[in-house]
């Protein structure tokens, strides 16, 4: 298996050699050279880091020791800006002064109870831990609790669609089974959609209330696309839009039709497609989910997490 390098490698790591990688470990399957931010980074600084490097989660570390403090996700930013529980920081501490609130330390909204594992943990054990905990990533920590890597659902997709070294018989066998299971056996059938003409704020509130990081959009009964929490953060972090947020005209920034955030035609799969085929499509197109179509009708949705759970042989929560 060819080692992949994440595009979000910070400059200070570019000339460092890769760590020792033992086949079959979490670090071997995951990504090293992870983009992290110091715990004194502002919320806006974290947003800019996510936008610049195209990531949906950023570990927060102590600048001196590189020990893990927490993680901030794009869903935290959506919650913070879209009126969720984290928005209380804006309302209660800063009297709805968004400019002051967005310059608060990212520690105010980060997740502190972060799922982690050791770099040399077996990759199948790590995938099982992700499925059982219902999480999209594991931060890889050394014995000093320093961040040395990350294993994400996207890494698992890569693992599921590349050739596995022949000596890793158990892992190869697990991945081979993905060719034998149809999408309809693991997909979520109850799909919550937003109307394409709903406002962005309506969509954000739906994401927050349901705990989703993606929403299919429907217009006149037709699927027109999927927007994600990363799409929302990208839009809200743009110069003109951010200026409206902090300039007291947030309502205008949030009132755009949610369909305006759609960046591509909806990519779909079919109920009888294999899980491996769906995983490959997600990987090739850089998406985390595929709406599932059956005879022209939206029948469900398959996500990266469904692939993780299928490898673990359990139904997703």
In this prediction, residues 28-42 reach a mean pLDDT of 93
**Residue 63's pLDDT band (boundaries 50, 70, 90)?**
very high
Rounded average pLDDT over 279-307: 94
Q: Which of 235, 199, 238 is nearest to 217 (CA)?
A: 199
Q: CATH code for 11-168?
A: 3.10.580.10
Out of 5-9, 88-92, 114-118, which region has the weakest mean confidence (pLDDT)? 5-9
123 Cβ neighbours under 8 A, 6+ residues apart: 24, 25, 26, 28, 29, 151, 159, 171
Lowest mean pLDDT among 67-71, 213-217, 246-250, 265-269: 246-250
In this predicted structure, the answer to whether residue 5 has a pLDDT above a threshold of 70 is no
How buried is residue 97: exposed, middle or buried, by Cβ count under 10 Å (0-12/13-18/19+)?
middle
What does the chain come to in residues? 317
Res. 16: pLDDT tops 60: no
Residue 317 pLDDT exceeds 70: no
Q: What percent of the chain has pLDDT over 90?
A: 71
What is the pLDDT averaged over residues 80-84?
90
Q: Which of 197, 204, 202, 205 is nearest to 225 (CA)?
A: 197
Letter string b/e over residues 121-140, b meaning 16 or more CB atoms within 10 A of that residue's CB: bbbbebbbbbbeeebbbbbb
Residue 166: HSE in the Cβ half-sphere, 13 Å Cα cutoff: 0
Strands 214-219 and 194-195, bridge-based pairing:
parallel
* Percent share of the chain, pLDDT over 70: 92
Alpha helices in 161-295 (DSSP H): 169-176, 200-210, 229-236, 239-246, 250-254, 275-285
Domain ranges of the chain: 11-168
Q: Is the pLDDT of residue 66 over 70?
A: yes
Residue 33 and residue 44 in contact, taking contact as beta carbons nearer than 8 Å? no
Q: Which tens digits make up the pLDDT trace of 101-147?
A: 999 999 999 999 999 999 999 999 999 999 999 999 999 999 999 99
Cβ contacts of 167 within 8 Å, gap of 6 or more: 23
Contact (CB, 8 A) for 123 and 307 = no
Strand, helix or coil at 182?
strand
Sequence-distant (6+) residues with CB within 8 A of 251 are none
Q: What H or E segment, with its residue span, contains residue 189?
A: none
Q: Are 137 and 151 in contact (CB under 8 A)?
A: yes
Q: What pLDDT is attached to residue 22?
A: 81
> Widest CA span of the chain, in angstroms?
60
Tens-digit pLDDT profile for residues 215-252: 999 998 899 999 999 999 999 888 778 777 777 677 78
């Amino acid at each position: 298996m060819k080692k992949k390098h994440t595009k979000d490698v910070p400059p200070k790591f570019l000339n460092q050699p890769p760590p020792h990688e033992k086949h079959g470990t979490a670090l071997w399957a995951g990504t090293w050279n992870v983009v992290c931010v110091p715990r004194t980074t502002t919320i806006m600084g974290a947003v800019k880091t996510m936008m610049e490097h195209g990531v949906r989660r950023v570990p927060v570390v102590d600048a001196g020791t590189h020990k893990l403090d927490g993680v901030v996700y794009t869903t935290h930013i959506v919650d913070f800006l879209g009126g969720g529980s984290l928005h209380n920081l804006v309302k209660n501490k800063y009297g709805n002064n968004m400019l002051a609130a967005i310059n608060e330390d990212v520690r105010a909204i980060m997740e502190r109870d972060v799922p982690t594992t050791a770099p040399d943990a077996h990759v199948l054990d790590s995938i099982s831990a992700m499925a059982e905990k219902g999480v999209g990533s594991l931060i890889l920590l050394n014995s000093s609790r320093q961040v040395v890597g990350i294993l994400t659902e996207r890494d698992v997709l890569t693992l599921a669609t590349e050739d596995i070294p022949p000596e890793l018989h158990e892992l190869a066998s697990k991945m081979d089974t993905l060719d034998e299971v149809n999408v309809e056996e693991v997909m979520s059938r109850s799909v919550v959609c937003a109307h394409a003409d709903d406002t962005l704020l309506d969509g954000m509130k739906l994401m927050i209330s349901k705990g989703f990081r993606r929403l299919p959009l429907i217009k006149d009964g037709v699927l027109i696309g999927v927007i994600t929490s990363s799409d929302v953060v990208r839009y809200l972090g743009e110069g003109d839009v951010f200026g409206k947020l902090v300039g007291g005209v947030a309502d205008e920034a949030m009132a755009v039709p949610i369909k305006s955030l759609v960046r591509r035609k909806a990519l779909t799969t079919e109920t009888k497609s294999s899980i491996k085929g769906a995983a490959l499509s997600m990987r090739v197109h850089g998406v985390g989910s595929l709406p599932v179509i059956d005879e022209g009708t939206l029948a469900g949705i398959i996500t990266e997490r469904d692939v993780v759970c299928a490898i673990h042989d359990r139904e997703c929560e």
